[in-house]
Chains A and B, each alone.
Chain A
Amino acid sequence: MTTTMVGLRGVGKTFKGRNADTTALTAIDLAIEEGEFVSLLGPSGCGKSTLLRIIGDLTPPTSGEVTVNGKSPEQARRDRDYGMVFQQATLLDWRKVVKNIALPLEVMNLPPAERERRAREMLDLVELGEFGEHYPWQLSGGMQQRVAIARALALQPSLLLMDEPFGALDEMTRERMQMELMRIWQRTHTTVVFVTHSIPEAVFLSTRVVVMSPRPGTVAGIVDVDLPQPREFETREHPRFFVKLNEVRETLRGAGVD
């Protein structure tokens, strides 16, 4: 029996404009179970990032009901139930890497020794053990993003929210990071909600791909990705992988997205 980590019922979001209001999201119904890796996939303007921000209580919905870990998003945020990773690593450049990872633990007022221990543990998890004393600018873009992931996981959240985390990376680094993320997900069993506009990325990573269509943003269809776990380099050459890519493409086309 699984429990629902994220529940969305009739969620809508309208941005008030000077002349006209813009409906970014309408009638979103979705339930994400514990341990799932769910991608929100769609073209620019389909509201996938807005939806993620609603789950993370960074912006309120204008209608509908949202539950995160069985609570209101605000309560979940206050309880630090989720970790957030943005497209930009957003590391504080005056802090060493290990201090960056310890930042959320400092905000939680954990004792220094405990902070240090957990930050080092996370650093090892993303395989950057020897870079703890470096400053962020001394790391490559991919390494910086790994630090951002370690920082989000330092809170040991039950939910990880990722907003196009590999969007600013080159293709090769991106594929390595996807492998890395799969390895981390296997080890932590964290539920992940992952926003992307890359079809292969969504299929490779996810247990389910939520395909979204724009104007106004809504769920066009959901594709179950029943590829074998753990996902490996060879997964991308699996015949089922191509079947799933096409299924996602068909869903996008069916929603009028070319």
Chain B
Amino acid sequence: MKHGKRSFIIIIIYGLFVAFSFILDFHPGREIGSNFGDFTLTMLRIVPAAFIVISLFEVWVKRETVEKHLGTGSGPLAYFWAVLLSSTTVGGIYVAFPLSYTLYKKGARLSVIFTYLSSAAITRIPMSIFEASLLGIKFTAIRFMVSLPLVILVSILLEKYLLRRGFTMSHPDKLPASTAK
């Protein structure tokens, strides 16, 4: 685990830097430390709940259901479901990755997964309402109308390319594959 070791070293160095910044009252280091605290709290407010919801989805939603609506046999409506699902994403795209992994294990096709992932970044409902109220509805409407068709197009092309390369999605844990059922 060469990579894991590197991450570990980076985290240790960072921790020491911040700790010494507080001891020596080094302003930039203190500010970075407090940024870290703020953002960690934001993450803790969202991420654990998101993982629980995703796991409930994984346990309760049947593989056949996902395959039928989001799998290779599904029609264009699958992209609509992907966009609709993405609009309910809370937090950020970092929450969309674990769900996309569950969808992948349940048999959703890659183009639908990529559509979900990319539109999770652009269609989140609270964020879009906020944006429209500050920059205008026209602004948000154009953003949607231009980006969504492109996202779907790119996702389809990406699927074609990746299937040729034998792409598989993974997760950094040692969970037995049996839980996919």
Query: Is the A/B pair a real complex?
Result: no
Point out residues on A near B: beta carbons under 8 Å. none
Point out residues on B near A: beta carbons under 8 Å. none
